[in-house]
Structure 1
Amino acid sequence: MQDVLIIGGGMAGASAAFFLAPGRQVTVLEAEAHCGMHTTGRSAALFIEGYGNAAIRAFTRASRQFFLEPPSGFCDVPLLTPRGAMLIGTAAQRPGLEALFAERGTESATAMEWLDPDACRSVIPILRPEYEASAFLDRSAMDIDVDALHQGFLRGARRQGARIATNARVEAIERVADGL
């Protein structure tokens, strides 16, 4: 059995522990009194399949099923909640927005919708007129419940035998032998 030491119990550390724990002895060292006190604890996350470069969009699409149907016992609430996202631009930004719409619109689970000025105002009534020139709506964008996701990873990691030690600040790391 291979041992794994993970430094930090935020989202990255918790998810690594969850996926590495089967078949390994995993220990997570968290400096704080509980996991997720910093960035993870203050995160608001949006699941949007049209965001980022091609690799990021592919990873996002690949994770969709996990978010929609997490493993049994992972969490008691939905991880994703529909929100939608509107991308807006001025008349000068329209060519770039049209290119983005054309490139990414076919990749989303729900087709993106190009909006005319009236439709823009119906979604965001206080939108400044210069930003009504070009916009599209991606109805497939969803909020991620970051706390439920993080807690699910921690709970699942523990259930699979991972040890999570809090108040365990790492002060130094030293290699003592090749391959160990």
Structure 2
Amino acid sequence: ANGYTWWQLRTTAGTGWAVENWLTRTTVTPAPQPPPPASGKFVINDTVRVTESLNLRSSASTSASRIATLAAGTTGTVVGGPASANGYTWWQLRTSAGTGWAVENWLTRATATTPPPSGFPAGTTVQVVDAALNLRDGASTSNRVLAVLPQGTRLSIVSGPQSGSGYSWYQVRSGTYGTGWVVSTFLRQV
């Protein structure tokens, strides 16, 4: 029209027409795409087992403070994640040592076919095999922590096992720390 070539344009201001002489072709750079989601190896509330000694950290980073070192065989419940950091996929776990983040490479889903730990009859002397084990006033992770038992602490089995919060618990007695409940995963017979 009127000797000009017109182009219909759609802009943030709306749709209209412009003369070709006053237009310049440009290449639009697409907005950066977010990274693909981290793997879905686990889902919230999965019970997982540590396959090798593994650090439990305060956040999903190799530089985050260490809450505990989880021994092989330790179990926990997935409560968050996944998150990607430092080239790893991290999962937030609730364990007897606390809640924190761990790298998925050393975790496996615990299955119902996993045999339960061997039982300890009343009167058996056992020893704490983890760096720190919570002694609680009942057989649940929601019970109050009475003391934190250091690795090597010797205990006498009072009763158990009893199930609670996805763990097998024993009531134990210590001359130093008193009587309470601990998760069986972190005990071995002396």
Q: TM-score range by the shorter chain?
A: under 0.3
TM-score normalised to structure 1 length: 0.25
Q: Relative contact order (alpha carbons < 8 A, sep ≥ 6): 1 or 2 greater?
A: 1
Name the larger-Rg structure.
2
Which protein has the bigger strand share?
A: 2
